[in-house]
Structure 1
Amino acid sequence: MLPVLFLALAALSPSAGAAPADVEVMIVGTYHMANPGRDIHNAHADDVLAPRRQRELADVAAHLARFEPTRVAVEWPADLAATRYAAYLGGTLGESRNEVVQLGFRLAKLAGLREVDGLDVEGDFPYAAVETYAKAHGQQAILADANAQVEAFVRAMQAKIDADTVADVLRFLNDPARIARDNAFYRQMLRIGAGAQQPGVDLLTDWYKRNFAICANLVQRARAGDRVVVFYGAGHAFLLRQCVQEMPGYRLVEANGYLP
């Protein structure tokens, strides 16, 4: 019995077939620093190339670097991110106000990374069909209420952009309780439709599909033991966080535990 007991204990020891280390992922929800104006509701960022903002961005990167990331992932397609990051490292990219450059590339360079992961994919967002159905079926009030909540959030974010530091804005955007509340807009879309006509369901399905494709790009590239910082528009944070939290072998790290 003693040899059998010894073998059983050896199988339970940490050195025997130890499980691979978790992938730690920090999702940093961002605002659009270059003001592309592509969202339904948009805030306006001041010039992040101004000296004050550059100092603030450097401070943000220095604090996030304490996480010691082994990968940085950004909201650009893989080929674009690779090409532009190489130019950034080579000093040939030129000026850019985009948050991918100002946050993602800055941190990756500070961490000594030779490449970044571009995770973005194209996706449909058929909001016009939702709006058309709501107008035709007397559901404008539902849509108006959902949009009013988003507008209130954008006003609050704009006030922080106007008065506070970049770090303050990012801490506001990455508060877990706020992220959970602000997903209500998408849930409200399920009220728009009836029977076989479900434009709200279609919108939500397309939104989920895009975000899960983004998360798939993340998990297909990360390796056990990686520490990944993901910079993405704050509207994506809820689903990306959920994906990471529910993925076996992954652990979500709160950005606000590192931001200044």
Structure 2
Amino acid sequence: MERSSQPETDERSTDSTPEAWPTCDPEQVQVMLLGTYHMDNPGLDEVNIEADDVLAADRQAELQGLAERLEAWQPDRIAVERPYDNFESVNDLYGKYRSGEYVYGHAETFPAPHPMRNDDDSECRSEVVQIGFRLADRLDHDHVAPIDEHPEELDDDPFADRGIDSARKTSVGLPDPEDWKRETDDHLASSPISEHLAWMNRESQLRFNHRLMFDRAIRATGEAFGSPGALAYWYDRNIRMVHHCWRSIEAGDERLLLVVGSGHVRAMRYLLTEAPMCCPVSPLPYLTKNGG
């Protein structure tokens, strides 16, 4: 069946512009970057959203609706933000959901296949399970593709506080992290999940993380590379994730959908645009009310 890269609708977000998202060539593998929040509240980001319980009945209904919207894109492969080397443990969990041993709307207890997690009762609430597994299950995929990798940190910790040059040579304004967190928390609390993800995947929201990272890195002071090293580490990780996406694609695949923290989207979009075999695709048309 012939598949179109966008749903048949004239409604388009102004944040999904040709300048931001390239036009895909027929021979390229399309990679939809679904930026999401961390639904299980792991507290691992610099600014952490306070997510309500996605196991609640209303949120489960919204997640079912989200899966239906994304299914319309007909991805051949679902990739998730878990370590590439943990393929077996990730897919052992996926198999339990696929067989019905574990249920998406129930609290299940099992170790998280995540390098920085040691709790056993929250992974069932993660976007990996609630979006990635659920969508792959609907599509009858026999496995999901974990594509994350954390490079070894430099001996000179790139995330250490090096101090920031306070001199401002321009009047460029920056978002306040606390204001952004309050706005995001309020939007999530008052919105269905599909609408909140559409809001998160707007260009203005995708820029938030990178504006703060680059501002701090470029104005860093002190010895060694300091915060520029942190940026190099960040791009190293994203390059590895793009590499693992490619390794996960099989002959005949035309579309891969990646469920990933929204902070990764801008970096991965750039890298996928540069990679001649791939083409990044926005999820926005499949998240808006009339899309899909």
TM-score, length-scaled by structure 1: 0.81
Aligned residues between the structures: 234
Q: Which amino acid is the alignment partner of residue 72 of structure 1?
A: I
Q: For structure 1, which runs of at least 5 residues remain unmatched after alignment?
A: 1-18
Rounded to whole Å, the distance in 1 between the matches of 2:26 and 2:285 is 25
Q: Displacement, 1:127?
A: 6.1
* Distance change >3 Å, CA 191–CA 201, structure 1 → 2: same
**CA-atom RMSD in angstroms:** 2.5
**Could you say which residue in structure 1 is the equivalent of 2:53?**
47
Q: Displacement, 1:41?
A: 1.6
**Could you say which residue in structure 1 is the equivalent of 2:99?**
90
Bigger Rg over Cα: 1
Rounded to whole Å, the distance in 2 between the matches of 1:44 and 1:234 is 15
Rounded to whole Å, the distance in 2 between the matches of 1:166 and 1:113 is 23
CA contact 1:72–1:228 (8 Å) conserved in 2? yes
% identical equivalent positions: 29
Rounded to whole Å, the distance in 1 between the matches of 2:199 and 2:187 is 8
**Could you say which residue in structure 2 is the equivalent of 1:21?**
27
Matches within 5 A, 1:109-188: 109-123=137-151, 124=153, 126=157, 128-129=159-160, 131=161, 133-134=162-163, 139=165, 149-188=176-215
Rounded to whole Å, the distance in 2 between the matches of 1:69 and 1:202 is 35
SS in structure 2 at match of 1:75: strand
For residues 36-88 of structure 1, the C-alpha deviation after alignment (integer angstroms, 9 at most, x for no partner) is 11122211111101111011111110000000010000011233322211121
Q: Displacement, 1:155?
A: 2.0
* 2:75 equivalent to 1:69: yes
CA contact 2:59–2:193 (8 Å) conserved in 1? yes
CA contact 1:21–1:225 (8 Å) conserved in 2? no
The structure that is helix-richer by fraction is 1
Q: Displacement, 1:139?
A: 3.7
User: Of the candidates 49, 65, 70, which is equivalent to residue 59 of structure 1?
Assistant: 65
Q: Displacement, 1:34?
A: 0.8
CA contact 2:77–2:253 (8 Å) conserved in 1? no
Q: Which amino acid is the alignment partner of residue 225 of structure 2?
A: Q
TM-score, length-scaled by structure 2: 0.73
**Could you say which residue in structure 2 is the equivalent of 1:9?**
none
Q: Displacement, 1:141?
A: 8.2
Q: For structure 2, which runs of at least 5 residues remain unmatched after alignment?
A: 1-24, 108-123
Rounded to whole Å, the distance in 1 between the matches of 2:256 and 2:56 is 28
Matches within 5 A, 1:237-256: 237-256=265-284
SS in structure 1 at match of 2:82: coil
Q: Which amino acid is the alignment partner of residue 70 of structure 1?
A: D
**Could you say which residue in structure 1 is the equivalent of 2:8?**
none
User: Does 56-65 or 169-178 show the bigger shift?
Assistant: 169-178
User: Does 232-241 or 55-64 show the bigger shift?
Assistant: 232-241
Rounded to whole Å, the distance in 1 between the matches of 2:166 and 2:41 is 28
